[in-house]
Amino acid sequence: MKVAFLGPPGAGKGTQAQAVSRERKVPHISTGDILREAVQTGTPTGLKARAYVTAGKLVPDEIVVDIVAERLARPDCKQGFLLDGFPRTLGQAKALDAILAKSSMRLDAMLYYAVSDEVVVDRISGRRLCKSCGANYHVKYIAPRKSGVCDRCGGGLYQRADDKPETVKERLRVYREQTAELIDYYRANGLLKEISADNSVEAVRADTNRVLDAVAVR
Ligand code: AP5
């Protein structure tokens, strides 16, 4: 299963991708997670990416494409992968086609999570993540049993630095300007599968699984 997840910030891509990865044992590759870790640990890539991520802007294509090419070349991606947050520009989409073609592969589907701006703001403002295992919560919709503590590993929960209202506004603007055109690109090549992401996590998961089951039997 070679699938990518597209949609505005906060649409629920990461939540769904984490669940699919667990259930179907397919590696989850989130460029946002990789970049945040690089920034936090101060790697050369992290030092280059820091200002973009903090401002809610896209990291330049050449940096992100190299990260993804290196990750997809690892043995665990031979049977499949879930790309979350990549590609995000037309340049990245074309680079992905070229990376996969080199290994005689192609994407099976692009899952597009369609959601309204109101829902995006509500979801992002309540998002909390575990410092230790990365588990994803929402203070209202996916609340941990004990406030501020991860159910899975007991780690502390935190709010992402780029989830501040001003940065979210910028991320939405950047999405509309640079990423939304990918909807037409993947519709034109027949890979786009639209999922209504305004619904509950369980309903979106059921729709996601329906799409993935159809992709798996093709
Ligand atoms: P990235 O981490 O990819 O952020 P994003 O695309 O803006 O997406 P988010 O992680 O904010 O949201 P999501 O859709 O995964 O939602 P989630 O599942 O968490 O990128 C961050 C930055 O890195 C970018 O701004 C850029 O600087 C850089 N970057 C990354 N990739 C790049 C690339 N390819 N090129 C260049 N730069 C790149 O859900 C949100 C909240 O809602 C959570 O609290 C969750 O629990 C809750 N929730 C989820 N689904 C539901 C539901 N159905 N009902 C109720 N609550 C829900």
Q: How confident is the model at residue 80 (pLDDT cuts 50, 70, 90)?
A: very high
Query: For a pocket test of ligand 1, which of 141, 163, 198, 200 has the largest count of ligand atoms closer than 8 A to its C-beta?
Result: 141
From ligand 1's centre to the CA of 168, what distance in Å? 10
Q: Which residues are paired to 112 by β-bridges?
A: 6, 194
Which atom in ligand 1 lies closest to the alpha carbon of residue 203? 53
The 10s digit of each residue's pLDDT in 94-127 is 999 999 999 888 999 999 999 998 999 999 999 9
Count CA atoms within 13 Å of residue 144 on its CB side: 21
For the chain, the maximum distance between any two Cα atoms, rounded to a whole number of angstroms, is 48
First CA to last CA distance, the chain? 10
Task: Specify the pLDDT at position 166.
Answer: 87
Judged against a pLDDT cut of 80, whether residue 216 lies above it is answered with: no
Is the beta carbon of 136 within 6 A of some atom in ligand 1? yes
Q: Ligand 1 in contact with 141 (CB < 6 A)? A: yes
Q: Are 162 and 53 in contact (CB under 8 A)?
A: yes
What's the confidence (pLDDT) of residue 218? 59
Tokens of 174: 């950047």
Among the four given CATH numbers 3.40.800.10, 3.40.630.30, 3.30.70.100, 3.40.50.300, the one describing domain 2-26+79-116+179-216: 3.40.50.300
Structure tokens at 16: 């769904």
Per residue in 1-30, pLDDT tens? 999 999 999 999 999 999 999 999 999 999
Reported as a single tens digit per residue, the pLDDT across 116-161 is: 989 999 999 999 999 999 899 999 999 999 999 999 999 999 999 8
- Give me the pLDDT at residue 17, please: 96
Instruction: Give the whole-angstrom CA distance, residue 130 versus residue 87.
Output: 25
| Amino acid in the structure at residue 117 | D
